Chain A
Amino acid sequence: MSAEQHTNTPSVRRSRSWATAGRYFLLLLVAAISVGPILWELSTSLKSKAEDVYSQTPSLLPQHPTLDNFSEVARAVPIYHFAGNSVTVAVMQIVGNLLGATAAGYALAKLQFRGRKLIFGLFLSTLVLPAEATIISQFQTIVKLGLGDTLVGVALPGLIGAINVLLLRNAFMAIPEELDQAAIVDGANVWQRFRYIALPNVVGTLAIITILTFIGAWDDFLWPLLVLQSPDKLTLTVGLAYLQGTFVNDPRLVAAGAMIALVPILVIFAVLQRYFFRGVGEGAIKG
């Protein structure tokens, strides 16, 4: 190989190690830009009252790190209760999608019935609608159902996502037809084939949908902002906007609130990122 010969000459090796050093420098620079603001806020959330967070020569490391801000912010607004509300919405949507999107995806992929193509087309067609363009009518429906200002009202429109139905349909389509045929010969009915043949083959997709749904519910802002009014019902993002927008003037407390909204999601992501990047690739092409 000619490339192998190149690597053996000292000058090429030297210029290559310079290139590697240059790449590391640029990667570190972008990493600093990406995570710097978050680290700065983390540091602010750990600074004590004695330390000036507006100092002209601020220090990234807190002089006397303290967790006081995390308990004090809860005295200003019930921030942990808000976090619980976000989890409630996320759990409802995860359960709804795992049951509803899985069943619908399976029927569309593996069962023959009249109207199948039409229904598939309906799911596909909604992807061109920007969510914000239908939000007002959704809001009216939720209010008419008596679900305004409730967490169920926040969760309901996202209970079974069209994109998840389509992702699961694709996953089920990838299962070889022979597996189904063999099971039919063995006398398995449709529910048995669904449970014992199809489901074990789409566990990866189910994991991706679970992660994406959790993050989506946790980060969502516009919809819960519209639906919720009572201060005890807010989800975390709406509560955080409320915290920083109104009466709290201490940046340390706002920083603590921001960290409560950020840290769980970053930890979940860092642990599960392998699944995650695959999911983004699959979702983006259709999204």
Chain B
Amino acid sequence: MVRTHRWFTPWIMVLPALVILCVFALWPAVNTFFLSFTDVRTLSGGTIVGLDNYRKLVDDPQLRAALVNTVVYVVVCVPLLTFLPLLLAILAEKPLRGLAIFRTIFYFPVIASAVAVAVIWKFLLDDRGLINGWATHAGIIQDAVPFLSGRWLLLFSAISLTVWKGLGYYMVLYLSALGNVDPQLHEAAAVDGAGPIRRFWSVTVPGVRRTMVLVAILVMVSAMRIFTELYILGGKTGGVGGQDVSVVFLIQSSASGADGRLGYASALSVLLFVMTLPPMALLARFNRKVDE
């Protein structure tokens, strides 16, 4: 490359982006650690309190519930959102009249605002909502199922919403991966007498294995970051007993209000970062391999 510009020209071009990056990404990453050792509040300075916030984390019963919920969320979402979108992608891969319309419809929940679709689900799952109304009418149930107030039912309602909203996104990731699977492998397996299920396990799955790993990691990280579904379905108290919360939920609730406890919220943020670090590190290694 011949240098044909003055030394500061690139810096002028990079500077605005670099300022935003430093002020709103790099500095907060460092500062969150500092804040987690203080009792800073939204409108007041605060002092260094050592490990106090971390001690409070250990004793916080709501955090314990949040961590249990996170584990349940990950354990349920990872297999569902790794396999269902793959099946959907297989269904939507081979050319068919009108397929583009179907793909677009499958993607609607993905781009829809999480708040708006959670509001819709809340209406469907209400004690008098469509699902309870229909099931009562059909005689399947006597009393309404408390989808929005039962401690576990609410969590599983939120999980269903997450899965419903995520299907289309991961389907698109699989669609490009399926395009790279050699069709001759399928033909050869079919000639050898392998049925569709056998071919799924011995041709399709090995062919998209890398994408499956990628999807599983992405689902795991986003399950750890869950917030909006719980906040809308359960309300800002986190369900009837305050048990249907997540780590991000607690970050938000402890930091909000005119006198939010930013120090404690920062300790929760550090915890969230530590939780997502292993899958994120895997993802970074994974991307490097893809690049090579």
Contact = CB atoms under 8 A, between A and B. Distances in A.
Given A20-B96, A40-B124, A130-B276, A141 B225 contact: no
Contacts of A134: 24-25, 28-29, 32, 269
Contacts of B227: 132, 221-222
A266 B108 contact: yes
Contact of A107 (B10, B24, B136): B10
Contacts of B136: 56
A280 to B, nearest CB: 5
Interface in A39-76: 40-41, 44, 54-58
Interface string A184-208: 1000011000000000000000000
A34 B105 contact: yes
B16 A104 contact: yes
B123 interface: yes
B14 A104 contact: yes
A154 interface: no
Contacts of A245: 232, 235-236
A180 B2 CA distance: 10
Given A159-B20, A240-B116, A280-B169, A132 B251 contact: yes
Interface residues of B, number: 103
A141 B269 contact: no
Interface of A: 3, 20, 23-24, 26-27, 30-31, 33-35, 37-38, 40-41, 44, 54-58, 99-101, 103-104, 106-108, 111-113, 116, 119, 122-123, 126-130, 132-141, 143, 156-157, 159-160, 162, 165, 177, 181, 184, 189-190, 215, 218-219, 221-222, 225-226, 229, 236-238, 240-241, 244-245, 251, 254-255, 257-258, 261-262, 265-266, 269-270, 273, 276-277, 280-281, 284-286
Given A139-B42, A258-B119, 16 more contacts: A27-B96, A27-B102, A34-B168, A56-B137, A111-B13, A112-B10, A119-B14, A126-B21, A132-B225, A139-B262, A140-B31, A143-B43, A190-B4, A236-B113, A240-B115, A251-B123
